[in-house]
Chains A and B, each alone.
Chain A
């Protein structure tokens, strides 16, 4: 699979090496400073301090400070485990796949440094079922390394089944423990009781890929790019109606409009942007008009607009299609992907999808707008064992806001005259299925 990549002007490459055709070999990785003596000279306490001082945050969606996570794992007794979460079940995201297939050593070195810092004897790579290339790349890279290093932690590859919630960290741990990849109730949390019942450091692939740079160059160098609240660069996957979809590396906190214009090349048809999913399917809808208001890729700026930073998977919807149809398809996605373990999620996600679909078809019941708002803002938030239900409520709440005019129009005319074709990656077949 070919993924276009690019780096924001003025940003030295940390994670992406542009125009990289295949897998980066051990020798190539070394040439760029990989497995450096400087990076491996730190004492364990120093390494923990360094990661904490760097301000690195998790890149899987929750944005939790990595240093705090490392400390909480290191504080638990016994041998620990590192779980590299490469399931990337977010349909519009390709960044982790790119890292695993092109720069497996960067991911492996990050995991090894993590294992060293927290005292882990095993590294589990949790990889998506379709990602044969990722598995092959990790295995080949590990073989290269094992040929020259005498002592490496135990390495295990666990295959993630398809499904949105299979990428959730407790689902990953379940799978690694030989069970179904379903989320569990917390506590226990991963740092207390994870793989094999042992304290487990679970990180998204991109998060760990930042660690070698921090170990080698130090916390200040890491913080020299991006915003103080979430320093460093971040990987984005641009998809939808942009001229140049692909994986990009940008400093955190850049303007979203700038990213879409300069890196994405603007919209395919040159027309205006109707709406954006700025952080993956769980992070909510952003109005296209907000782009002119200077919304930035930071948790703070996006939260001001009612959405979350999420995982850097940015999907653009142009003015040429019905936006409300996209929002309906997204809520159906949440309903379909519910693990159906929790009542509020099993019943609440289809109820929200049905209400928005009635609104889109101009067949709304009198109170469907307040009903959907009540579901999304009052009844359902915080009631699932994992964040799947919360993602669905954010998708519903922001859709009511962003597509308010469309909802009024659909109520009056039964539609907006634009094609209802679904353009969200991975969901394209939805409307075809429903028509069949």
Chain B
């Protein structure tokens, strides 16, 4: 037997091996149920029972869910319990329509109303309605009775979040012909470590043996013994690395000679928080706000305040450092950053841009001050070269807080600090009145080494491990220790296993990194000995 490979896109990485379960499409289930269609009274009773069953299933799921998942399930329960939802379906059934058709048509009409909304929040709820439609449909056709056994490797067009939540995927995988890596299910799969591939053009592999390497988006059907051995070896290597690192994830980062290192996370998208346990870190060391500004319109103060508040609530008393808009350089934003600069990394970016655009800066500072009322919040200014830039930003923050006070809006003045990424600032820190400092190692390296981050030919030069960069980092750490100012590092180096020992040796004790690097970083820290470095 020869093997056959299918390729899709990775939505959640991981490995799985086993037999594929092909979930029957809705059409086949509908056909079976239509054959069984009886008189209107029996059809109405069947729909009533299906609604009750779907509601009961969701209540069980909601009881053990938390955060966004609990809100989503609670909303679905409330909607299904409302007689108004299925009312048109019962009218159609009384007129002779089969229950499956009546339910499908009713929900399609309801969903169309949501999809037609001009408001994106309401449009986004169409997927919840689709989820409810599928769950009741499954209850009606008996599809749901075939509960997926633990460790199923499922092949389907797409699956709903509630169906995802109702199965135990330990050892299994999700293979979708459609689906999207940015869907709610993909987010849940990543949060729970379930391998998931989307856009997989695979048919007729139900019941066949497969090897799934989701990181590569690869599904190998009917593998040979050699292929299986190779797969197991790759899976073993990956698992060994992850297992040994995972042991460190839920513990504080402590060096082998007993020094506690503060490990913070860098966050760009608020949705990232849903899959993160705040107890695994010491706070958020960097909130990148650029992503919020990439839509068609600039985010309003209220929109920003809601997102910032969500992050502060997530951190649950741990500090959250918001960086004000750092557009420009490698992060252009159409309509905001200047076009045609010959060297954007040396142009109008970071605080240089926001000071020129008070219409953008002030609402952001107001939103951050509002979030500060909910917990420990710091505001960090990027790309500061001169003390006057930090003072101009402070004047605007004071102005923002004064305006909030006069409007009677709840707020608090956050601590104001700065990124250290321009050598001019790094060399003259005693001139700055900053409450805290955070080293942006990516930009600091490229400015010190005169080697662009985005130019492959000088990649060897653009390395923070060079003595000039490390010496400057050491100077910043020493300044912080002398002046009693907190110093952290929030560039890529902060989560890099190769660089962490070098950073600790130069005196850094606070590192902020991508959340997925927390476990391996804590493992590296545990092996470090500060006494010997």
Partners in one complex: no
B interface residue numbers (CB < 8 A to A): none
